[in-house]
Amino acid sequence: MDIIIMAVLTVLAVLAYRGAKRAWVVGLWVLGLVLMLILFKIHATSHLHLNF
C-alpha cells in the first residue's frame, strides 16, 4: 500500500510541476490523502511491536 501511495504522490507531483488541470491535481491529492489516512488507521489500531 505504501508503494501505491508513493506512486500516486509521484504522479501528483509531476502533474503539479507541469501545471496540469486543477481537477487532476485536486483529485489525486484527495486520493493520496485518503489512502494515507486509511494506512494510518491500519497502523494506529494495531500494536506496534517495536524492537530496540
Partner 1 sequence: MTSASKQSESLVSTLLFWGSVGFVLAYSGVLLGAFSVQLFAHEFPCPLCMLQRYAMILTVIPQLWIVTNSLRGKLKKVEYARCLGMSIIAAVAGSFESTRQILLHIATKGDPGYGSAVLGLHLYTWALITFVVVILYCGGALMAMPYGTPAAPTSPAWRGVARVATWLFLALILANLVAIILLEGFAWILPDDPTKYHLLQQLGFH
Question: Is residue 21 close enough to count as binding partner 1 by CB under 8 A?
Answer: no
Helical H segments across 1-52, by residue range? 2-17, 22-44
Q: Min. distance of Cβ 2 from partner 1 in angstroms? A: 5
Is 19 in a helix, a strand, or coil?
A: coil
Q: Min. distance of Cβ 23 from partner 1 in angstroms? A: 12
- Residue 19: left (phi > 0), alpha (psi -120 to 50), or beta? left
Question: Is residue 38 close enough to count as binding partner 1 by CB under 8 A?
Answer: no
**Contact residues for partner 1, defined by CB under 8 A:** 1-3, 5-7, 9-10, 12-14, 16-19, 22, 25-26, 29, 32-33, 36-37, 39-40, 42-44, 48-52
